[in-house]
Amino acid sequence: MKEHRIRLKVNGDESEMAVEPRTLLSDLLRNQLGLTGTHVGCEQGACGACTVIIDGKPQRSCLILAVQADESTVETIEGVAEDGIEHAVQISLHQQHGLQCGFCTPGIVMSLVAASRYGRDAETTKAQILEGHLCRCTGYVNIRAAIDAAWETTGGGPERSDLGVGE
């Protein structure tokens, strides 16, 4: 099968590589770039475990061909911490016990970080941010508590916070 050359900026690093047209972005991240924090669960976009940020938006990497991401900026869970300091969402999830087995955690973190960095409107709810993320361990109670704690930690609340509300 003929390979295509693509260019990506992944977690701040420029990469150029050859990929088969059928290669999924999730497979490229995990197998070619060694970024195994992006988990693959259902391979149908339903569980949210493979969520990454592409050009500022949370996307399911198991539904995107690597060639479709050509010339894009991609951020994975490995790129969330800045200068070794965890994002407020990561800290809150840990402190509020918003994770158990951890399989869904990277995808949830990526959606919350996307809301944090790239904004959302004031009417967006926690449920809407978490929509499409399946967690069979926590029942979401502690995950929602972690979102509240992150909002509180960053000096805001549902109306204004580091989670991009009102900005």
Question: In percent, how much of the chain has pLDDT > 70?
Answer: 88
The whole-number pLDDT of residue 136 equals 85
- 84 - beta bridge partners? none
pLDDT digits (tens, 9 = 90+) for 29-62: 999 999 999 999 999 999 999 999 999 999 999 9
DSSP E strands in the chain: the ranges are: 4-10, 13-19, 51-54, 57-60, 72-75
**pLDDT tens sequence across 71-105:** 999 999 999 998 888 888 899 999 999 888 889 99
Task: Output b/e per residue, 124-136; b: 16+ Cβ within 10 A.
Answer: eebeebbeebbbe
Q: What is the pTM of this model?
A: 0.86
Residue whose pair of structure tokens reads 């050359």 in the numeric block: 5
Task: Please report, rounded to a whole number, the percentage of residues in the chain having pLDDT higher than 90.
Answer: 59
3-state secondary structure of 4: strand
> Domains of the chain by range and CATH?
4-79 (3.10.20.30), 88-153 (1.10.150.120)
pLDDT of 155 higher than 60: no
